[in-house]
């Protein structure tokens, strides 16, 4: 799920005083093009690893994951990269899910009706259509932080690939993100795409599952784009943003792990 940028920027804009929320922001064509090119490069590198990398990475890394650790790191640089009038947020994590099969984790990853019970920021999820290789899904996400609250409607295309029997990977790309005002009220409305508070303009997720004896290794990357942090405060905000980004990836993976293990036990 594309939750990292949403949580981080919402909290940090509030910490910076929230003035950017009042005036709003606008997504420009250069920022959109920069993100699209970056995401395609990240997806190509991810798919290469999904097809060729050893499960869990190096033997030492795999051992740490089997022991229950969740390993997270920036996907590039320090996790937050400057673009034209924008920021790209890229984080990566790995986890091991014991006692489950590849079919079980893929099945749960496609059970979108259960996402509001699995992932805290997801309030609603529905499949709009099936495609030849996956789904188009509509999410409603809500998050509070630092005294602010925001709701987003995110339409996403999700592609599933099973290159061979022991592994699968998923590429998710947002097709439209709209900030919602007065959510669930009688006067609810959506702001124009790219003309809003700038919490999350683009989002993507890259997920890999590899079955091994005893369970499944899961790797996940999130790539999002937001408005820049307020001028003169980047030195203060960015270290906090990196910490929040790392923690958000870890939380998402832990939530999924707990859900798939619980579902497996209930069906045993």
The Cα angle at residue 114 between residues 3 and 141, in degrees rounded to 5: 30
**Which element (helix H / strand E) includes 17?**
none
Mean pLDDT over all residues of the chain? Answer: 87
pLDDT score of 241 more than 80: no
pTM across the whole model: 0.90
Q: Which of 252, 198, 243 is nearest to 224 (CA)?
A: 198
pLDDT score of 207 more than 90: yes
pLDDT score of 1 more than 70: no
In the three-class reduction of DSSP (H, G, I as helix; E, B as strand; rest coil), residue 27 is classed as coil
Report d(CA 112, CA 34) in Å as an integer: 30
Q: Can you give the pLDDT at residue 15?
A: 47
pLDDT score of 5 more than 80: no
Read off the pLDDT of residues 106-119 as tens digits, 9 standing for 90 and up. 999 999 999 999 99
Q: Can you give the pLDDT at residue 233?
A: 61
Read off the pLDDT of residues 6-34 as tens digits, 9 standing for 90 and up. 655 555 455 444 444 445 689 999 999 99
Read off the pLDDT of residues 30-62 as tens digits, 9 standing for 90 and up. 999 999 999 999 999 999 999 999 999 999 999
Q: Which two tokens stand for residue 155?
A: 């339409």
Give CA 48 to chain center in angstroms. Answer: 20
Q: Can you give the pLDDT at residue 236?
A: 63
Higher confidence at residue 71 or residue 244? 71
Q: Can you give the pLDDT at residue 142?
A: 87
Class of domain 4-15+25-178+191-267: alpha beta
Q: What number is the average pLDDT over the span 253-259?
A: 95
Residue 31 burial (C-beta neighbours within 10 Å; 0-12, 13-18, 19+): buried
**Which element (helix H / strand E) includes 126?**
strand 122-130
**Domain limits, the chain:** 4-15+25-178+191-267
């Amino acid at each position: 799920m594309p939750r990292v940028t949403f949580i981080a920027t919402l909290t940090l804009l509030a910490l910076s005083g929230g003035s950017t929320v009042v005036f709003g922001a606008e997504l420009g064509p250069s920022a959109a093009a920069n993100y699209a090119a970056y995401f395609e490069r990240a997806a190509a590198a991810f798919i290469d690893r999904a097809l060729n990398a050893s499960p869990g990475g190096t033997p030492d890394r795999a051992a740490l994951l089997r022991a229950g650790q969740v390993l997270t790191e920036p996907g590039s640089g320090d996790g937050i990269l400057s673009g034209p009038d924008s920021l790209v947020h890229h984080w990566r994590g790995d986890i091991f899910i014991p006692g489950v099969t590849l079919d079980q984790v893929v099945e749960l990853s496609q059970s979108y009706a259960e996402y509001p019970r699995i992932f805290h920021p997801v309030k609603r999820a529905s499949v709009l259509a099936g495609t030849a290789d996956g789904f188009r899904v509509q999410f409603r996400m809500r998050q509070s932080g630092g005294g602010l609250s925001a709701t987003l409607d995110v339409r996403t295309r999700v592609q599933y690939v099973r290159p061979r029997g022991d592994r699968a990977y998923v590429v998710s790309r947002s097709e439209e993100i709209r900030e919602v005002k007065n959510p669930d009220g009688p006067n609810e409305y959506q702001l124009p795409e790219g003309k809003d508070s700038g919490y999350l303009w683009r989002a993507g997720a890259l997920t890999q599952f590899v079955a091994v004896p005893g369970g499944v290794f899961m790797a996940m990357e999130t790539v999002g784009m937001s408005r820049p942090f307020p001028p003169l405060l980047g030195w203060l905000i960015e270290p906090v943003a990196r910490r929040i980004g790392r923690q958000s990836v870890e939380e998402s993976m832990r939530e999924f792990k707990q859900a798939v293990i619980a579902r497996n036990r209930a069906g045993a």
